[in-house]
Amino acid sequence: MPSADLIWMLVSFFLTILVLSYIFGDNPLFRMATYLFVGVAAGYIAVIIIEDVIVPRMILPIFDRDLEQSGIALLSLVMSALLLTKLSPRYAWLGSLPMAYLVGAAAAIVIYGALFGTLWPQISATVDLFAVKSLPAGSDPALALFSGGIVLIGTVTTLAYFHFGTPVKAGQPVERSKWMGFFGRVGQVFIAITLGSIFAGVFASALAALIERLSFLVSTVTNLLH
């Protein structure tokens, strides 16, 4: 009887072959592997949601002696039930309340994250680059200031590229000042460099994954032949 390790190795081998068959274009073998991956991922997520969210946070707290926790859990359960009414065109209006709450909460989280998770840390990191007195011993202040200046220019010009104005009259295109247009073009260069480096990183990661899978196929075939 084959061992469990051998079975899983063969399963991984055939799934890898199915995925790599996409090299020859979209085909039933690749779609079968895709459907299997989506189904397994959906089942795994469903189990995680039931075990870690629905049961411990929405059902069990209802029977808790803490009235506050019970009320929150009961309200969450009711809101979730109302949200399911969106599946029916006749009773979809009942789900407007939980939907409005979700949209409002998501918008608040996105705005807070953009301000205090991206914009403010970027400003603080840019300012910290000019703190020459806090540099480690042996560091070159001129080089540190040069690096900080490059980061500052990149940050300001990138923000200038995404500057949006208002037209003087309705229907007319937005006119940007010459300085704003110049800064925007410089920011476009920084954006192109950033996107290029991101693409290079993604490509390198994908290439490393492909090499690992090909190495796995070769080692599997070698083990089976021996």
Amino acid symbol at 74? L
Q: Return the pLDDT at 169.
A: 58
Q: Using CA atoms, how far apart are residues 159 and 93, in angstroms rounded to an integer?
A: 41
Q: Return the pLDDT at 162.
A: 81
Q: Return the pLDDT at 176.
A: 64
Confidence of residue 42 (pLDDT cuts 50, 70, 90): very high
Least confident segment among 20-29, 60-69, 148-157: 60-69
pTM: 0.61
- Give the residue-averaged pLDDT of 139-161: 84
Is residue 153 over pLDDT 80? yes
Q: Return the pLDDT at 122.
A: 80
Confidence of residue 129 (pLDDT cuts 50, 70, 90): confident
- Give the residue-averaged pLDDT of 39-49: 94
What values do phi and psi take at 54, rounded to 5? -65, -55
Q: Return the pLDDT at 58.
A: 82
- Give the residue-averaged pLDDT of 193-221: 91
Q: Return the pLDDT at 4.
A: 75
The torsion of the CA quartet 109, 111, 115, 121, rounded to 10 degrees, works out to 40
CA torsion sign, 18 to 19 to 24 to 27? positive
Least confident segment among 13-17, 39-43, 124-128: 124-128
Give helix then strand counts, H and E, for the chain: 7, 0
Amino acid symbol at 186? V
Q: Return the pLDDT at 172.
A: 58
